[in-house]
């Protein structure tokens, strides 16, 4: 027990040590604050105008509860109530421990492992951001980088309709940030990709310099930031967005409540004039109507509505066991999750409203109760299929697309899981074509078998009839031996692929053995491994088609490569074209 506690403390300490400055913008979904181009604090409370304070900001720490905590240029921690009514000194001389304690920790991202509330989301994540409802992250998938999107703080079975940003192809990432106006991805080449949160539309902005570490969409503008020597965010530039990323917001004049507590020496925040209209080169999405309790002509209840009808619907869903969340008369994302699950149960098309027919079935005496393990079969679609696909992917069974459609690749993944568990198809059924209740119970259990295998310093994913190296067993590993085969499930899986970025920037890696069946090595697989001095290559299957870019960039110039003698000349050129220093020797005497 003492050992376990010590390990948990060690992990916590490492996570804190790995923490860098917080984002230059924070949002909880309704309140957003950011560092403006002049270094001052900007913020917008829910339903109010946008404000600018004379506070000069180094860092935004957290926006949980009713208070925003920030580190101002003088070194003090200030606390701003989110309604703008009070700005006070929270810590006049904060210690490093004070700052770390205040930094937001809605998720954990450490050495590629991304978790939210104990739920593992990714083992290859490079950047993440959240807005209180959704979490977004960038991860390597073996073919490149993809943007992922999921709900915060919900159970795996509570997925909803297709998320617009999930699965988008992106360039190699450096950082992510999100506000109510959009998501900004800062690429490794310092260009910026902006995403519309409603439809996934993206716009690329070229790099303006080599110091850009982060970008933020706020106040109708794209802002870029660099990190100063003391870890403070230093605004670099701002520019008007070339396309509308979210429904247009009109900042109307308002009145800032006079502070009731003794203010700090910094002047009280002042109201910004109405924001300059954004460019109209492209049509803007229609602004979502404000919530209303007025029933529509067809008596449907829609996402965004509020009132007694919504509360009645929430109470009925809750009584049937659907995870509706807070019963507050507001049709938000929590209610939408329950609505989608109910629509799946009655075989109704998923949509962001409850039709009159759906409502009749909801209030009927025989309305179906929530069934987390409702059997699924080929041809089904919807939230329950998407949930199953996500779980299969997390365990390494690779359904390829998380699209909510029970198609051929999902059949293959289910068949592999059936084989792994021994819970095979029933008589007359083809393998993988039906996920039974018993199979789903096993799939969502803590004892579900995984297809991720750790061997000789590497972590592998079984993919079809072969295996893929997806990462190291730890960031401190010194030797990785990629075997010819991996023994699992009573079979031999040849290791054929090293995933893109799989072992990037392993600072202690000094020896690498590449087995005889490897024929593909992804981009930047061993990029930045500055101590990798001995590389042994047994495979004879590598060629230009299978070798990525910058695979060995950053390897020491005095490294040595051994390989089949008759391939030394061809491999020398192939590896150098992939970033290996020209001074590296092949098969020295």
At 548, which CATH number? Answer: 3.80.10
Number of domains in the chain: 4
Q: Are 269 and 256 in contact (CB under 8 A)?
A: yes
Q: Are 42 and 33 in contact (CB under 8 A)?
A: yes
User: Which helix (DSSP H) or strand (DSSP E) does residue 252 occupy?
Assistant: none
How many other C-beta atoms are found inside a 10 Å radius of the C-beta of residue 89? 16
3-state secondary structure of 233: strand
Q: Measured between alpha carbons, how far is 307 from 278 in angstroms, rounded to an integer? A: 33
- Which pLDDT value is given to residue 538? 96
Range of the domain at 541: 452-586
- Which pLDDT value is given to residue 310? 92
C-alpha distance from residue 23 to each of 207, 358, 447, 542 (Å): 19, 42, 37, 42
The answer to whether residue 410 is domain-embedded is yes
User: pTM of the prediction?
Assistant: 0.43
Rg (CA), the chain: 26
Are residues 510 and 568 both part of a single domain? Answer: yes
Are residues 575 and 511 both part of a single domain? Answer: yes
- Which pLDDT value is given to residue 52? 85
Residues of the chain with pLDDT under 50: 1-21, 154-161, 244, 246-295, 297
Are residues 408 and 517 both part of a single domain? Answer: no
Backbone φ and ψ for 8, nearest 5 degrees, come out as -65, -40
Are residues 244 and 111 both part of a single domain? Answer: yes
Are residues 109 and 200 both part of a single domain? Answer: yes
The answer to whether residue 426 is domain-embedded is yes
- Which pLDDT value is given to residue 185? 94
Q: Measured between alpha carbons, how far is 538 from 547 in angstroms, rounded to an integer? A: 15
Report the DSSP pairing between strands 511-514 and 479-482.
parallel
Q: Measured between alpha carbons, how far is 34 from 463 in angstroms, rounded to an integer? A: 43
- Which pLDDT value is given to residue 153? 58
- Which pLDDT value is given to residue 492? 92
- Which pLDDT value is given to residue 22? 66
Q: What is the CATH number of the domain that holds 406?
A: 1.10.101.10
The answer to whether residue 64 is domain-embedded is yes
Q: Are 513 and 480 in contact (CB under 8 A)?
A: yes
Are residues 438 and 490 both part of a single domain? Answer: no
Are residues 203 and 100 both part of a single domain? Answer: yes
The answer to whether residue 5 is domain-embedded is no
- Which pLDDT value is given to residue 298? 62
- Which pLDDT value is given to residue 13? 36
- Which pLDDT value is given to residue 239? 84
SS3 for 432-457 is CCEECHHHHHHHCCCCCCCCEEEECC
Tokens of 212: 């850009």
Q: Measured between alpha carbons, how far is 316 from 334 in angstroms, rounded to an integer? A: 14
Last residue of a domain, one of 241, 275, 309: 275
Are residues 244 and 118 both part of a single domain? Answer: yes
The answer to whether residue 93 is domain-embedded is yes
- Which pLDDT value is given to residue 132? 75
The answer to whether residue 183 is domain-embedded is no
Are residues 41 and 106 both part of a single domain? Answer: yes
The answer to whether residue 26 is domain-embedded is yes
Are residues 514 and 567 both part of a single domain? Answer: yes
The answer to whether residue 138 is domain-embedded is no
How many other C-beta atoms are found inside a 10 Å radius of the C-beta of residue 271? 16
Question: Tokens 């948990």 label which residue?
Answer: 8
Are residues 408 and 318 both part of a single domain? Answer: no
> Using CB atoms within 10 A of its CB, is residue 195 exposed (0-12), middle (13-18) or buried (19+)?
buried
Are residues 397 and 314 both part of a single domain? Answer: no
- Which pLDDT value is given to residue 575? 96
């Amino acid at each position: 027990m003492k050992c376990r506690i010590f390990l948990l403390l060690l992990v916590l300490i490492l996570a804190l040590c790995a923490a860098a400055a917080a984002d230059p913008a924070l949002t909880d979904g309704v309140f957003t604050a950011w560092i403006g181009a002049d270094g001052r604090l900007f913020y917008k409370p829910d339903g109010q105008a946008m404000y600018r304070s004379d506070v000069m900001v180094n860092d935004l720490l957290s926006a949980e509860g009713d208070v925003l905590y920030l580190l101002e240029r003088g070194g003090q921690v200030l606390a701003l109530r989110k309604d703008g009514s009070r700005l006070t000194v929270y810590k006049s001389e904060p210690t490093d421990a004070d700052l770390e304690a205040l930094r937001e920790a809605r998720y954990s991202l450490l050495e590629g492992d991304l978790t939210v509330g104990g739920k593992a989301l990714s083992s290859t994540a490079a950047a993440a951001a959240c807005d209180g409802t959704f979490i977004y992250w960038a991860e390597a998938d073996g073919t490149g980088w993809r943007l992922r999107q999921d709900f915060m703080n919900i159970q795996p079975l509570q997925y909803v309709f297709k998320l617009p940003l999930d699965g988008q192809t992106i360039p190699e990432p450096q950082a992510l940030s999100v506000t109510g106006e959009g998501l900004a991805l800062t690429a490794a080449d310092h260009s910026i990709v902006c995403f519309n949160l409603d439809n996934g539309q993206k716009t690329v902005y070229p790099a303006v310099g080599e110091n850009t570490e982060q970008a933020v969409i706020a106040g109708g503008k794209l802002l870029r930031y660099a990190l100063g020597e003391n870890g403070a965010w230093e605004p670099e530039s701002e520019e008007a967005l070339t396309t509308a990323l979210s429904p247009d917001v009109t900042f109307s004049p308002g009145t800032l409540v006079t502070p009731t507590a003794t203010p700090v020496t910094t002047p009280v925040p002042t109201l910004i004039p109405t924001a300059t209209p954004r460019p109209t080169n492209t049509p803007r999405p229609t602004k979502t109507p404000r919530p209303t309790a007025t029933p529509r002509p067809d008596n449907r209840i829609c996402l965004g509505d509020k009132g007694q009808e919504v509360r009645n619907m929430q109470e009925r869903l809750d009584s049937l066991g659907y995870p509706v969340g807070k019963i507050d008369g507001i049709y938000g994302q929590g209610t939408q999750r329950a609505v989608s699950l109910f629509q799946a149960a009655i075989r109704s098309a998923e949509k962001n409203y409850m039709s009159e027919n759906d409502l009749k079935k909801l209030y009927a005496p025989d309305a179906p109760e929530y069934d987390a393990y409702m059997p699924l079969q080929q041809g089904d679609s919807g939230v329950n299929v998407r949930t199953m696909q996500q779980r299969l992917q997390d365990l390494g069974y690779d359904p390829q697309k998380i699209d909510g459609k029970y198609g051929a690749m999902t059949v293959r993944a289910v068949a592999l899981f059936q084989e792994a568990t021994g819970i095979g198809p029933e008589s007359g059924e083809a393998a993988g074509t039906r996920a039974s209740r018993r199979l789903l119970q096993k799939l969502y259990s803590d004892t579900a078998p995984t297809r991720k295998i750790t061997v000789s310093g590497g972590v592998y994913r079984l993919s079809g009839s072969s295996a893929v190296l997806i990462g190291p067993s730890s960031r401190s590993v010194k030797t990785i031996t990629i075997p010819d085969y991996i023994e699992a499930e009573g079979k031999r899986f040849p290791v054929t692929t090293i995933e893109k970025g799989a072992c990037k920037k392993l600072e202690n890696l000094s020896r690498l053995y590449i087995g005889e069946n490897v024929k593909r090595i992804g981009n930047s697989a061993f990029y930045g491994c500055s101590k990798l001095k001995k590389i042994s290559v047994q495979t004879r299957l590598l060629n230009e088609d299978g070798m990525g870019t910058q695979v060995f960039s950053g390897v020491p110039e005095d490294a040595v490569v051994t390989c089949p003698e008759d391939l030394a000349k061809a491999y020398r050129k192939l590896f150098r074209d992939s970033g290996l220093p020209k001074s590296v020797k092949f098969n020295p005497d």
